[in-house]
Amino acid sequence: MRYIKVLLFFTILTVSCTLFAQKTKVIPNRGMASPFTTIKNRAWWKEAIVYQIYPRSFKDSNGDGIGDLNGIISKLDYIKSLGVNVIWLNPIFSSPNDDNGYDISNYRDIMKDFGTMADFDKLLKGLHQRNIKLVLDMVLNHSSDEHEWFKQSRSSRTNPYRDYYHWWPAEKGKPNPRYSFFDVNSDAWKYDQTTNAYYLHYFSQKQPDLNWENPKLRNEIYDMMKFWLDKGIDGLRMDAFQYVSKDTTWQKYPEGYEKNIIKYYGMGPNLHTYLREMNHSVIDKYLVMTVAEGAGSTLADAHALVDEDRKELNMAYHFEVMDIGNDPKGYSLPDLKKVFTKWDGSFANKGWLAIFLANHDVPRMVSKYGDDSPAFRAASSKLLTTLIMTMRGTPFYFNGDELGMSNIKFDRIEDYRDIATLNAYQHVLAKGEDLKAFMDKQKFISRDNTRTPFQWDASKNAGFTTGEPWIKVNPNYKEVNAQREETDPNSVLSYFKKVVALRKSSPALIYGSYKVYDVEHPQVYCYLRSEGKEKMLVILNFSNQNVSYAIDRGINTHLSKLLLSNYKTAKIRDHKIALLPWQSVVYQIN
Ligand code: NOJ
């Protein structure tokens, strides 16, 4: 009897612990001798390394020049070899591709260019077999104008779907101005003749904003999320989510409001209500991660989105780092350090962030924050990878950066595909502004710079497609490609794998505190990550010069062990280190 009671007790205990772990999405410490056993509040998504795949440009399997799901499937072993454990796919749903999939016409189907639902199921299975999780991109602020909801909505003022979108009756005159990111005239109100009304589109005219005030719309979205979560996906990236709750009184904003777009356009009064509702109706029931694109306009906004006790989102990514480095003449390293340090400090005890230096909306990280000239492209790519992988927060790493891929820098507008660049060009043209200056700037900032085909090998089209690629391949592919780098122990790719392995094994790099040194130093970024007895000192030379750097005397470098360097030599002598151009080093400190 006693035996049965004990058994029952342990069974109940195990079941409740498992349920608790699932609910709170923590990783239970199983008492094994692991360096992580003392960490509190562990979560799989905090320990994840997210690898972002831009499906259109990753690998084409059928020769139509467009990357697809079968292409990704054919590269699963490559992805596994990187050591990353989560994949984020940009939208793969049906879309007329006005904004490369961020204009969804059917949320429950796969874009024809990318394949079929059977391909998707195969991809998910292949990832899970390799212990890699999958995050899908949920575009919920807007749909395509070719979505059935919008077709219905625009058909008459009394249609049941009318309130799925934001309309303004034209007999009331023109609504107060709203800024659009992708409109030639920056005008977010588009007149629609069928019902003599304007609809709202923060992005392109083909991306009408969904009306989240409407509970019917919200429920449809929650059902759609369940559809994908029931298939077994592991996470959701919420595109432009801060904009779903907006001021719908359409009041007049003060002059210059578009300079603080998030404050006026997003983070509306109901955002947190919707997030809690979404959690309650959908997310809580699954062991998945959620990440929001955008983190509001203040630190407080960001905390309100991701603090664990609020049960809204797991993490968000902010754009303050992205705002630095947009000037081709260069940027100030102290500014970059201050941004990272400010955000880390604010999230040291509560909340969690995503860390990134590039994605499909910005240029290549090496061209923006490093030096993409032949002499320093590899070294500076490795350094930037080190930065991403040694910061607190979940790394989001963009495909191709592990090879050191760089901006393509198109000379001709005909080569661009991105609606943002094409519409801005039309605008410049119409206003008679300086076209040359515009084109020069695009070489540096256009989103197409990160969207060029993945460089697999030195064969035609870098092995991306046997057909005509939808966007040109970067001509440097003969030198910068996966096949070549896989066999070179000193390549950017080989270094990437080492940093990834180091991060995954180190509680200090994932969870540890962060202390920065010499914030005003113009060339060197030096910080210490510590967790318990484990201390990791990271020193990064952000310049193409040799630098002799004096390490803070408070750091005990006496028995330090070099764990990683992007050059063969690295030596600390009497608290000084001689750094080579773009050198990055990670030391274990005793
Ligand atoms: C953010 C996405 O990352 C970007 O690519 C897209 O154009 C806009 N949201 C609109 O969905």
d(CA 102, CA 93): 9
Q: What is the mean pLDDT of residues 373-386?
A: 98
Q: What is the mean pLDDT of residues 331-348?
A: 98
Of 168, 200, 232, which residue constitutes the final position of a domain?
200
Q: Is 49 in the pocket of ligand 1 (CB under 6 A)?
A: no
What pLDDT was estimated at residue 183? Answer: 93
What pLDDT was estimated at residue 34? Answer: 85
Ligand 1 atom closest to the Cα of residue 142 is 11
Is 153 among the domain residues?
yes
- Give backbone dihedrals phi and psi of 37, rounded to 5 degrees, phi first: -60, -25
Stretch among 220-234, 439-453, 564-578 having the lowest mean pLDDT:
564-578
- What is the spatial order of strands in the sheet that 547-550 belongs to? 547-550, 576-579, 572-573
Rg (CA), the chain: 25
Residue 12 has pLDDT above 90, yes or no: no
Predicted TM-score (pTM) of the model is: 0.94
Instruction: Quickly count: other Cβ atoms within 10 Å of residue 127's Cβ.
Output: 23
Residue 244 has pLDDT above 60, yes or no: yes
Q: What is the mean pLDDT of residues 2-19?
A: 44
Q: Is 243 in the pocket of ligand 1 (CB under 6 A)?
A: no
Residue to mutate (ligand 1; options 180, 202, 203; most atoms within 8 A of CB) = 203
Query: DSSP code of 522?
Result: S
Ligand 1 atom closest to the Cα of residue 361 is 5
Share of the chain above pLDDT 90, in %: 90
CATH code for position 175: 3.90.400.10
What pLDDT was estimated at residue 32? Answer: 53
What Å distances lie between residue 575 and 116, 527, 546, CA to CA? 59, 15, 17
Percentage helix, strand, coil, to 5, in the chain? 40, 20, 45
Closest Cα to atom 5 of ligand 1? 361
Q: For residue 302, give both structure tokens.
A: 């960001």
Residue 330 has pLDDT above 70, yes or no: yes
Dist. CA 240 → ligand 1 center (Å): 7
pLDDT digits (tens, 9 = 90+) for 89-107: 999 999 999 999 999 999 9
CA dihedral 342, 347, 348, 350 (to 10 degrees): 160
pLDDT band at 28 (very low <50, low <70, confident <90, very high): low
Between strands 354-355 and 394-398, the pairing is parallel
- Do residues 380 and 370 touch, judged by C-beta distance below 8 A? yes
Q: For residue 355, give both structure tokens.
A: 């860390």
Q: Is 102 in the pocket of ligand 1 (CB under 6 A)?
A: yes
Q: Is 189 in the pocket of ligand 1 (CB under 6 A)?
A: no
pLDDT digits (tens, 9 = 90+) for 245-278: 999 999 999 988 888 889 999 999 999 999 999 9
What pLDDT was estimated at residue 33? Answer: 65
Give the mean pLDDT of the chain.
94
Is 65 among the domain residues?
no
239 labelled catalytic: yes
Is 312 among the domain residues?
no
Of 162, 177, 200, which residue constitutes the final position of a domain?
200
pLDDT digits (tens, 9 = 90+) for 129-147: 999 999 999 999 999 999 9
Instruction: Give the contacts of 158 (CB within 8 A, at least 6 positions apart).
Output: none
Dist. CA 519 → ligand 1 center (Å): 33
Residue 23 has pLDDT above 60, yes or no: no
What Å distances lie between residue 197 and 167, 244, 245, 379, CA to CA? 6, 21, 21, 55
d(CA 346, CA 52): 26
Is 562 among the domain residues?
yes
Ligand 1 atom closest to the Cα of residue 103 is 11
pLDDT band at 26 (very low <50, low <70, confident <90, very high): low
Q: For residue 432, give both structure tokens.
A: 């008679």
Is 190 among the domain residues?
yes
Domain that holds residue 162: 148-200
- What is the spatial order of strands in the sheet that 315-317 belongs to? 315-317, 289-293, 235-239, 133-139, 86-89, 50-53, 394-398, 354-355
Q: Which of 45, 173, 56 is nearest to 111 (CA)?
A: 56
Coil vs helix vs strand at 416:
coil
Dist. CA 100 → ligand 1 center (Å): 9
Dist. CA 301 → ligand 1 center (Å): 20
The burial class, CB within 10 Å (0-12 / 13-18 / 19+), for 170 is: middle
- Do residues 356 and 343 touch, judged by C-beta distance below 8 A? no
Residue 61 has pLDDT above 80, yes or no: yes
Is 494 among the domain residues?
no
What pLDDT was estimated at residue 117? Answer: 98
What pLDDT was estimated at residue 395? Answer: 98
Instruction: Write the Ramachandran bin of 116: left for phi over 0, alpha for psi from -120 to 50, otherwise beta.
Output: beta
Q: Which residues of 196-216 are buried (b: 16+ CB within 10 A; e: fewer)?
A: ebbbbbbbbbbbbbbbbbbee
Is 76 among the domain residues?
no
Residue 493 has pLDDT above 70, yes or no: yes
pLDDT band at 75 (very low <50, low <70, confident <90, very high): very high
Is 552 among the domain residues?
yes
- Do residues 508 and 529 touch, judged by C-beta distance below 8 A? yes
What pLDDT was estimated at residue 571? Answer: 85
What pLDDT was estimated at residue 16? Answer: 43
Coil vs helix vs strand at 506:
coil
What Å distances lie between residue 89 and 51, 371, 559, CA to CA? 9, 28, 43
pLDDT band at 292 (very low <50, low <70, confident <90, very high): very high
User: What angle do helix axes 492-505 and 377-389 make, rounded to 10 degrees?
Assistant: 10
pLDDT digits (tens, 9 = 90+) for 453-492: 999 999 999 999 999 999 999 999 999 999 999 999 999 9
Look at the chain and report how many structural domains it folds into.
Answer: 2
Q: Is 361 in the pocket of ligand 1 (CB under 6 A)?
A: yes
pLDDT digits (tens, 9 = 90+) for 202-243: 999 999 999 999 999 999 999 999 999 999 999 999 999 999
223 labelled catalytic: no
Residue 4 has pLDDT above 90, yes or no: no
What Å distances lie between residue 18 and 112, 247, 288, CA to CA? 40, 42, 15
What pLDDT was estimated at residue 31? Answer: 47
User: What angle do helix axes 117-129 and 215-231 make, rounded to 10 degrees?
Assistant: 60
CATH code for position 575: 2.60.40.1180
Query: DSSP code of 444?
Result: H
Q: What is the mean pLDDT of residues 366-389?
A: 98
Q: In whole angstroms, what separates CA 263 from the centre of its chain?
A: 22
Residue 7 has pLDDT above 50, yes or no: no
Of 165, 183, 200, which residue constitutes the final position of a domain?
200
Q: Is 319 in the pocket of ligand 1 (CB under 6 A)?
A: no
